[in-house]
Amino acid sequence: MPVITCIDDLKRLHERRTPRMFFDYCESGSWTEQTFRENTSDFDKIYLRQRVAVDMSGRSTATQMIGQDVSMPVALAPVGLTGMQCADGEIKAARAAEKFGVPFTLSTMSINSIEEVAEATTKPFWFQLYTMRDEDYVRRLIERAKAAGCSALVITLDLQILGQRHKDLKNGLSAPPKLTAKTIANLMTKWSWGLGMLGAKRRNFGNIVGHVDGISDAADLGAWTAEQFDPTLDWGKIAKIKELWGGPVILKGILDAEDAKMALQVGADAIIVSNHGGRQLDGAISSIRALPSILDAVGDQVEVHLDSGIRSGQDILKAVSMGAKGTFIGRAFVYGLGAMGEKGVTTALEVLHRELDISMALCGRRRIDELGRDILLVPEDFGGRWQG
């Protein structure tokens, strides 16, 4: 077993062990992938202020996200098709998150169903909702999440239509994979993945198959999204969903200060600054670059989290020092899952925690609530301002 020192080590193992279409599904953005790349590279433009001769004993990364105690300011983001990265992937990721003390968010587009994940875990997890044209299905989906004991609803706002992802189209992405000459040749080199899948609880979309009427092809993510996702989603519908849910609501996909203010008006308990990992509007600014203006717009009126681009504990440190109350990791935990299953997700969390703890100490801080912008050197023009 190779020595894992960073998230990139897990990424390399993930690529080696997972079928090409599912690795590419994780490791890709839309169109030119500019936003996908800048989500990570923009973190490099922020520098940390090193302090010395400071008592570093008694450190803690513990904090809270929407009132929930967490071992560090991190949640596992909702990622579709996680159960195709590794057999029963959602279950394994949820178990790893629970043991580590961070929230897990189950995607509507998961392979394992809400009920299957609930049965395999002992603590409440969060559920991410995509709004559909079929309002009865959405209502039933929310009721299923309630019945499973999910403690927060994460509503994704930025996927009313699917951004074009060239790799997914070229690979013919589907769940389970369609057996073409190209996919068979690739699957033959991923025998350990295939053996795992033979014993998987499920190999299709567990929250959809058997729950939605009139689906023409549930295996084809792009076709199903075009057919079922709701292009009429607006703030009025979000308010109705919040009322129907009746618990904490987190709005994911905020990238503009004006939208953050609208989220306040509909009573969001938290917002996630996110561009969907660069998978929707290519050419949009990175999440970390959007964060300052959104924080300035909403102040402490709502809890602000950051998603997209987190690949290290230092990225977490920078986002939280800038003012985010928490961060979400998607690719970082998927790399671990594809590399080593549940153990890989745990390893990813351990890597991030170690990097966060050491970097925080070297900045002269011992607790999360001591972090602030004073430990960052940020370019003057970093927070984008729209012209016009």
When pLDDT is cut at 50, 70 and 90, the band that residue 388 belongs to is very low
Is residue 276 situated within a structural domain?
A: yes
Lowest mean pLDDT among 140-154, 186-200, 268-282: 186-200
Structure tokens at 299: 């102040």
Is residue 30 situated within a structural domain?
A: yes
Q: Using DSSP, state whether 201 is helix, strand or coil.
A: coil
Catalytic residue among 14, 166, 211, 276: 276
Domain that holds residue 104: 7-377
Is residue 53 situated within a structural domain?
A: yes
Q: What percent of the chain has pLDDT over 70?
A: 95
Is residue 38 situated within a structural domain?
A: yes
Lowest mean pLDDT among 82-91, 207-216, 217-226, 278-287: 217-226
**This prediction's pTM:** 0.95
Domain count, the chain: 1
Computed over every residue of the chain, the mean pLDDT equals 93
Residue 178, pLDDT score:
85
When pLDDT is cut at 50, 70 and 90, the band that residue 228 belongs to is confident
Total H helices, total E strands in the chain: 16, 12
Task: Indicate if 14 belongs to the active site.
Answer: no
Mark out the alpha helices in 18-156 (DSSP H runs). Answer: 20-26, 34-41, 82-85, 89-100, 114-120, 135-147
Give how far Cα 30 sits from Cα of 168, 284, 334, Å: 10, 11, 19
Q: What percent of the chain has pLDDT over 90?
A: 82
- How many Å apart are CA 117 and CA 127, to the nearest integer? 11
When pLDDT is cut at 50, 70 and 90, the band that residue 387 belongs to is very low
Is residue 2 situated within a structural domain?
A: no
Residue 236, pLDDT score:
96
Does pLDDT of 167 surpass 50? yes
The residue type at 373: R
pLDDT digit string, tens, across residues 299-355: 999 999 999 999 999 999 999 999 999 999 999 999 999 999 999 999 999 999 999
pLDDT digit string, tens, across residues 78-102: 999 999 999 999 999 999 999 999 9
DSSP for 234-267 reads -HHHHHHHHHHH-S-EEEEEE-SHHHHHHHHHTT
pLDDT digit string, tens, across residues 171-211: 988 888 888 989 989 988 999 999 999 999 888 888 987 77
CATH code where residue 237 lies: 3.20.20.70
Is residue 1 situated within a structural domain?
A: no
Mean pLDDT, range 232-240, rounded to an integer: 96
Give how far Cα 304 sits from Cα of 224, 293, 322, 337, Å: 31, 12, 11, 27
Residue 229, pLDDT score:
84
Does pLDDT of 224 surpass 70? no
Residue 174, pLDDT score:
83
pLDDT digit string, tens, across residues 14-44: 999 999 999 999 999 999 999 999 999 999 9
